[in-house]
Amino acid sequence: MKSVSIITVNFNQHQVNIGFLNSIKANPSTNYKIEVIFVDNGSLQQHEQEYRIIFPELIYIRSDKNLGFAGGNNLGINYATGDYLLLLNNDTEITPDFIDKMVDELEQNPEIGLLSPLILYFSQPNTIQYAGFTEMNYLTCRNKGIGSMEINTGQFDKDSRETGFCHGAAMMCRRSDLQNAGLMADEFFLYYEELDWCEKFKKSGKKIWFTGKAKIYHKESISVGKESAVKTYFMTRNRLLFIRRNTSALNTFLFSIYYIFIASSKQIITYSLKGRNDLIKWVIKGLLWNFTNKINSKNLGIKI
């Protein structure tokens, strides 16, 4: 019997973890062996025994420091033994037959490298968060969400297609494909790492895919506030880092001009008008990081 490794990363979200584990327990696979790898990413308190009451077979990994989304998932991946790896945010809850439907989609199409499902908002279960992404405009580092904020009437239930990028809340791949593409880039820490990971799969010859046949519910905005110092810094920093890692020197130069003098300047003015002067320094720090740090271009692989 083939197996699926579910990997989730936690940072100080005890109640959310309980909902996540109960969701996995309530929706088992009928066709695949499941292992759940829980990475405690430097949380202040540990609740391992409480989680084992819900899921006794839980593989619990403790990191003494916060490795970020990319680093935490990479740590979990290196413990995974499954033929398929399913990365799920701990602030998600799955639905019946979700795991089987995701694996079946990969089984039916060997060209798929990374696969994401339909994502609905947990607090607004009839509202779509993700049904795919358009391709990226690399001169502005902008793309659009397909189906975003639409009312779910089943319009994507039979939809299965190539898409620009997967969504970091839920991504599945074959172990064999991951060995070729490599792990996530740790240097992102938070935000844009899943987009960069999609680019790595594309470069390895695989396609990025969306399926509406499987769905999850996402408790968005639990991890980081909508306008926090952490989010402002990493979103600013990593947007430029993504372009540096995935486009030519000429494109990076042209984007940098646009990003510094138009996009970031506009952001600073907006924060000033909203009285959020505390966030302006984080925009500047995010930009400056890219001029003082080299790209880590090493293609990380899985430890076997």
Q: Are residues 7 and 117 in the same domain?
A: yes
Residue ranges making up the domain that contains 248: 229-292
Q: Are residues 185 and 247 in the same domain?
A: no
Please indicate, yes or no, if residue 224 is contained in any of the structural domains. no
pLDDT at 299 over 70: no
pLDDT at 67 over 70: yes
pLDDT at position 250, please? 98
pLDDT at position 296, please? 78
Mean pLDDT lowest for which of 39-53, 217-231, 239-253? Answer: 217-231
pLDDT at 33 over 50: yes
Q: Are residues 177 and 242 in the same domain?
A: no
pLDDT at position 166, please? 98
- When divided into structural domains, the chain yields a total of 2
pLDDT at position 300, please? 41
pLDDT at 188 over 60: yes
pLDDT at 303 over 50: no
Q: What is the pLDDT of residues 86-142, one digit of tens each?
A: 999 999 999 999 999 999 999 999 999 999 999 999 999 999 999 999 999 999 999
pLDDT at 215 over 90: yes
Best CA proximity match to 288, nearest among 240, 248, 250, 253: 240
Mean pLDDT rounded to a whole number for the chain: 94
**Euclidean distance between the first and final Cα of the chain, in Å?**
20
pLDDT at 224 over 50: no
Q: What is the CATH number of the domain that holds 39?
A: 3.90.550.10
Please indicate, yes or no, if residue 187 is contained in any of the structural domains. yes
Q: What percent of the chain is predicted at pLDDT more than 90?
A: 91
pLDDT at 185 over 70: yes
Per-residue pLDDT, averaged over 280-296, amounts to 95
Residue ending a domain, among 186, 218, 250, is 218
Q: Are residues 151 and 240 in the same domain?
A: no
pLDDT at 29 over 70: yes
Q: Are residues 206 and 255 in the same domain?
A: no
Q: Are residues 177 and 252 in the same domain?
A: no
pLDDT at position 297, please? 60
Q: Are residues 75 and 15 in the same domain?
A: yes
pTM for the full model? 0.94
Q: Are residues 27 and 51 in the same domain?
A: yes
Mean pLDDT lowest for which of 10-14, 120-124, 265-269? Answer: 10-14
